[in-house]
């Protein structure tokens, strides 16, 4: 299982920025000694086609930040998963906390989006994570357990699905849980998924929330951490590749 280093560009940059960043990442990826890392870029929808051209013939993979629950039809403003595969996407992020909070997406909707992604041959990266107040009131594991049960399709398995644990309070804040906490939570997530889906193999679980080159080594070395979902630090090729360099 390769370590997945995924860049979530969110709603940043213009077309020139996207193409330059993709070019820089692809170039630096060639020099990357580690063959253990799979690099993934998730630009805004409108830049996907251009970034796809830049990444053609490279080992860097393309993904999107969201998709529709539906395959086609009267859904103004939505993007169907097969539109994403058509552009060369292999992955799609679903249930990011910025969608769960800002767009009131429920775990049930996230599950439908993941199923919709499967239909188009896309691998969903299903995000889960507790808020600051849930953490403070000691509810982290209950929240994660509920999100796992409600957001994961029952036919999710390691080859078609990736999970991303992103504590909401750690996103873009510069704060991260301690290494012991990340380790404990990832073990808990792995175990809960195993029980929920009756799996015999390990699910790929990414950590996300203020990952940077300086803290990536310790985080990526943990047993049940199989990669990172990176926001801010993915907007510069140097820091994104700097994180990928920590993969051993």
- Residue positions annotated with a catalytic role: 96, 166
Cβ-proximal residue to ligand PGA, closest one: 231
Contact residues for ligand PGA (CB under 6 A)?
Answer: 8, 166, 171-172, 208-211, 229-233
45 bridge partner residues: none
How distant, in Å, are the alpha carbons of 45, 68, 85 from that of 211?
23, 28, 28
C-beta closer to ligand PGA: residue 81 or 232: 232
Contact 120, 88 (CB under 8 A): no
Q: Running DSSP on this structure, what letter comes out for residue 157? A: -
- Tokens in use for 198? 């009756």
Rounded to a whole number of angstroms, the minimum distance from the CB of residue 63 to ligand PGA is 12
Rounded to a whole number of angstroms, the minimum distance from the CB of residue 229 to ligand PGA is 4
The set of residues, in sequence order, having a beta carbon less than 8 Å from that of 141 and lying 6+ positions away, is 185, 188
User: Residue 92, by phi and psi: left (phi above 0), alpha (psi -120 to 50) or beta?
Assistant: beta
User: Residue 229, by phi and psi: left (phi above 0), alpha (psi -120 to 50) or beta?
Assistant: beta
Rounded to a whole number of angstroms, the minimum distance from the CB of residue 25 to ligand PGA is 16
C-beta closer to ligand PGA: residue 194 or 236: 236
- Other CB atoms within 10 Å distance of the CB of residue 137: 12
C-beta closer to ligand PGA: residue 83 or 243: 243
C-beta closer to ligand PGA: residue 10 or 112: 10
C-beta closer to ligand PGA: residue 6 or 197: 6
Rounded to a whole number of angstroms, the minimum distance from the CB of residue 8 to ligand PGA is 4
- Tokens in use for 64? 């999107």
Rounded to a whole number of angstroms, the minimum distance from the CB of residue 200 to ligand PGA is 29
How far is 25 from 212, CA to CA, in rounded Å? Answer: 15
Pairing mode, if any, of strands 37-42 and 61-64?
parallel
């Amino acid at each position: 299982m390769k370590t997945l280093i995924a860049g979530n560009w969110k709603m940043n940059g213009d077309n020139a920025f996207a193409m330059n960043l993709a070019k820089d990442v692809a170039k630096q990826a060639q020099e990357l000694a580690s063959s253990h890392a799979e690099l993934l870029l998730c630009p805004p929808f409108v830049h996907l086609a251009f970034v796809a051209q830049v990444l053609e013939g490279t080992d860097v993979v393309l993904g999107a930040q969201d998709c529709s629950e539906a395959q086609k039809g009267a859904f103004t403003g939505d993007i169907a998963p097969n539109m994403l595969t058509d552009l060369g996407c292999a992955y799609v992020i679903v249930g990011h906390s910025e969608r769960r909070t800002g767009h009131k997406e429920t775990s049930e909707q996230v599950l439908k989006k993941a199923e919709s992604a499967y239909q188009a041959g896309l691998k969903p990266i299903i995000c889960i994570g507790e808020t600051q107040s849930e953490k403070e009131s000691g509810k982290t594991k209950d929240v994660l357990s509920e999100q796992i049960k409600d957001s994961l399709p029952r036919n999710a398995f390691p080859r078609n699905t990736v999970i991303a644990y992103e504590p909401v309070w750690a996103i873009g804040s510069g704060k991260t849980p301690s290494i012991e906490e990340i380790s404990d939570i990832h073990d808990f997530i792995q175990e809960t998924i195993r029980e929920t889906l009756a799996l015999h193999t390990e699910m790929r679980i990414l950590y996300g929330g203020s990952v940077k080159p300086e803290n990536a080594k310790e985080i990526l070395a943990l047993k049940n951490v199989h990669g990172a979902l990176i926001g801010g630090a993915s907007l510069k090729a140097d820091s994104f590749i700097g994180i990928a360099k920590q993969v051993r």
